[in-house]
Amino acid sequence: MKYTVKSAPVARQQADCAIVGVFDRRALDAHGEALDKTSRGALGQALKRGDLDGKSGQTLLLSDVPHVACERVLLVGLGRERDFDEAAYRKACAAAARALRATGAADAVSYLTHLTVKARDAAWRVQQAVLATEDELYRFDEFRGSKARADIALPKLRTLTLDVPEPDLKAGERAAKGAQAVAAGVRLTKDLGNTPPNVCTPTYLAGQAQQLAQRHPDVSVRVLDREELERLGMGSFLGVARGSRQPPKLILLEYRKGADGAKPVALVGKGITFDSGGISIKPADKMDEMKFDMCGGASVIGAFEAVARLGLPINLVGAVPACENLPDGEANKPGDIVSSMAGITIEILNTDAEGRLILCDALTYVEKEYEPAVCIDIATLTGACVIALGAFASGLFSNTPELAQALLAAGEATGDRAWQLPLWEDYQGMLKSEHADVANVSGGRDAGAITAASFLHRFTRKMKWAHLDVAGTAWRGKRATGRPVPLLVEYLSRYAERAAKPS
């Protein structure tokens, strides 16, 4: 898909389709009014027939509109003008893309990018239009049969022009280019998450990271195997991997375009490529969705794809501990005690709380090996976070208020939102073990997302650290969402801007 940014009067625009907005009660936006005038009232007459009243997300496609150079005009409902906000804007852009898919239009021009969204400029509108369009047009059909793939109607749309006021052209062009980089990272994350678990093994995930490094010379990748993990003392990580025939991998990524000697930002992503729960086995219902338990790791790889395309001037490292969690004669058992790389012993009371067991060793490795300026881990960690926040916000925990606020702001800017939950020391007592330094779960169901984050906090006290629990946001239904790549890349972009400013 090609995106261009231009500034041209709608009445003189030549394209297969022009896109304008309609507010509630059939009120055309400014560019719709201009087209209506050119068409001598044809748009207004179409609205009077009652086929579209302007409710948010509605669309109406008009063909052969008199005196209009474009072959089609797509009217997109915007809802009430006084209520038009960021979410309504994204919804309108997605609705336009969805409608365009069903047409024969090869190129279209959108004037939705002129709409007023409070506190957001033209660059933001362009960025969000690209991301919403890419999200709507995404399909994952690699594993369908050849006949089924041949029968799938592909969109004919090849070029989308985003019109902006002339003074905003350069900013809009930069925004479109940046959004395409983020979209590429989101797409890679979705592809990895959607790939079936018999294909997307730890070895496959490591191979995908290595392919990323081949595409981008600024990225390097190392993969640590079982012997190296044993040498490092990662007994917690290896304990989870013992139940699977697939060998574990610690995937390490580096991107260094920041100042020499500048400490890196670290991203650590949970890479459980399939989670049965282990001996504490999960119910059969929806267990197929546990292929998405590696989406934290996938988002780290996707973020590197975006950062490399953007060429951000930062130092960035990533760690993805990858393995399967399966029941086997060698698997962890409830009551087992393992020793982590940090030397902290862990009593395993529930083998389905395995994500924290692989993350704690990866976090210790990152701290010792890289001494990062900040560290962010991303994990589909707890069902409790889904109960607390649903599918709309990722859970955020941090031991550094400034880091938490920066992540929250990045989420608000992109619509990839997070919500901060407490990390008070009071919760540590819930992880008391009778026989080890710490238990991997508390004795009850209370505060499950918080106690999971508190467990990780035991291994991150020396770092400026944040934890994103994306169990509710990384996939929806049977499809990966690509979250929280937009949040992460926005945070990293702002981090790079702050680092570039003279102190």
Active-site residue numbers? 282, 356
Cβ-Cβ contacts under 8 Å for 335 (sequence gap 6 or more): 347, 348, 349
CA distance 304 to 264: 13
Q: Which among 413, 486, 487 is positioned nearest to 131, based on CA atoms?
A: 486
183's tokens? 């979209």
CA distance 308 to 321: 21
Cβ-Cβ contacts under 8 Å for 387 (sequence gap 6 or more): none
Pairing of strands 219-224, 159-163: unpaired
Cα R_g (the chain), whole angstroms: 25
42's tokens? 């044809």
Cβ-Cβ contacts under 8 Å for 253 (sequence gap 6 or more): 209, 212, 213, 219, 220, 221, 300, 301, 304, 316, 317, 318, 319, 320
CA distance 267 to 377: 6
Whether the upstream peptide bond of residue 484 has omega within 30° of 0, thus cis, is yes
Cβ-Cβ contacts under 8 Å for 50 (sequence gap 6 or more): none
Phi, psi of 221, deg, nearest 5? -135, 135
Pairing of strands 374-379, 465-469: parallel
CA distance 463 to 337: 26
Cβ-Cβ contacts under 8 Å for 146 (sequence gap 6 or more): none
CB 273 within 8 A of CB 323: yes
Return the DSSP state at 115: S
